[in-house]
Amino acid sequence: MNVLDALILGVVEGLTEFLPVSSTAHLTIAEKVLGLPVADPGVTAFTAVIQVGAIVAVLGYFRGDIIALASAWLSGLARPAARRDPQYTVAWCVILGSVPIGIVGLAARHLIAGPLRNLWVVVTGLVVWSIVMYVAEKFARQNRAERDLSLLDSVVVGLVQCLALAPGVSRSGATISAGLLRGFDRVTATRLSFFLSIPALVAAGAYEAGTAADSIAASVGWTPTVVASITSFLVAYAAIAWLLRLVAHHRITVFIGYRLALAALVGIALASRLLNPT
């Protein structure tokens, strides 16, 4: 991989990680278009590692909220009276909501890096989850706020997040849809999606960096990986601010047309053999 490829993939990651369009799907498509072997262990690991750049953007953007959550959680552990703080409950929700994807992601890691790295899977995920997003918005009550968040809500949203391990579904699309179906307003559902992304993507990136370091060095190289990670951070920071403003005034169904158009375009390219599925 050269530096130009890394810059392109970093931009793709930063733009799509937090939008409900599936960053993994876009990275898989972009890697295929660039002629990279998507099934190569080093490329698969690279895809996970550069997501850490986007997560650093979340940490920077929400640093005040994250410090408040961590402080409330630590205070609640030390003093029972502090557990009445709603932030204490939210902190536990983020922790418990992150457990399912950690377990499923580790158990299904060979499936994720193998059979699921297929463009037909991407097309299917883009189409099927577009339907779910439509249903979520259609039946969204939006009568609950962040203060109403419960541990059951976090587990449900965390379980749905596991579906995003299939490219095309979208982690943010899955978690925001689940939040809406639990009755939360769109901004609360989006904020929860951001918070749940931190443990999930940091763990995935750290795991791949630690276990596939040799593969990354051999087939991709650490210089392109660092370049792509920095680029994804810069682009993602801007994308977070834009998405929060967007969801405050628009439904997530605004992304459905794009998702279906991309699915159709990739499907045609596959059917005409302009692209290979793996």
Residue pLDDT tens, the chain, 278 long: 899 999 999 999 999 988 899 988 899 899 989 988 887 888 888 888 888 888 899 899 989 999 999 999 999 999 998 888 989 999 999 999 999 988 998 888 778 777 887 899 999 999 999 999 999 999 989 999 988 999 999 999 999 999 988 889 998 999 999 999 999 999 899 989 989 988 888 888 787 777 878 888 888 889 999 999 999 999 999 888 888 888 778 888 999 999 999 999 999 999 998 888 87
Instruction: Examine residue 277 and state whether it is found in any structural domain, yes or no.
Output: no
Instruction: Examine residue 220 and state whether it is found in any structural domain, yes or no.
Output: yes
Domain count, the chain: 1
Instruction: Examine residue 14 and state whether it is found in any structural domain, yes or no.
Output: yes
The whole domain housing 69 covers 3-271
Residue 214: C-alpha distances to residues 11, 35, 98, 120, 125 (Å)? 25, 21, 28, 29, 31
pTM for this model (two decimals): 0.87
Instruction: Examine residue 170 and state whether it is found in any structural domain, yes or no.
Output: yes
Instruction: Examine residue 278 and state whether it is found in any structural domain, yes or no.
Output: no
Q: What distance in Å separates the CA atoms of residue 214 and residue 30, rounded to the nearest whole number?
A: 23
What's the pLDDT score for residue 125? 94
What's the pLDDT score for residue 177? 95
Instruction: Examine residue 276 and state whether it is found in any structural domain, yes or no.
Output: no
